Amino acid sequence: MSVRKLKPITPGQRFRVVNGFDAITTDKPEKSLLVPNKRSGGRNSQGKMTMRYIGGGHKRKYRIIDFKRDKAGIPATVASIEYDPNRTAFIALLNYQDGEKRYVIAQNGLQVGQNIVSGDTTAPEIGNSMLLSNIPLGTIISCIELHPGQGAVLARSAGAFAQLMARDGKYATVKLPSGETRLILVTCMATIGAVSNSDHQLLVSGKAGRSRWLGRRPRTRPVVMNPVDHPMGGGEGKSSGGHPRSRNGIPAKGFRTRSKTKASNKYIIERRKK
Q: Which CATH class is domain 3-200?
A: mainly beta
Helix/strand/coil percent split, the chain, to 5 = 10, 30, 60
**Which contiguous run of DSSP H or E holds residue 209?**
helix 208-213
* pLDDT the model gives residue 79: 97
Question: CB-side exposure of 137: number of CA atoms within 13 Å?
Answer: 7
Query: What are the distances in angstroms from CA 5 to CA 8, 14, 198, 205?
Result: 9, 9, 17, 11
Q: How far apart are CA 130 and CA 211, in angstroms?
A: 38
Q: Is the pTM of this model over 0.75?
A: yes
pLDDT at 165 over 90: yes
Q: What fold is seen in the domain 220-263? A: Ribosomal protein L2; domain 3 (4.10.950)
Provide the residue ranges of all domains of the chain, joining segments of one domain with +: 3-200, 220-263
Residues 6+ apart with CB under 8 A from 149: 68, 70
Encode pLDDT of 101-157 as tens digits: 999 999 999 999 999 999 988 899 999 999 999 999 999 999 999 999 999 999 999
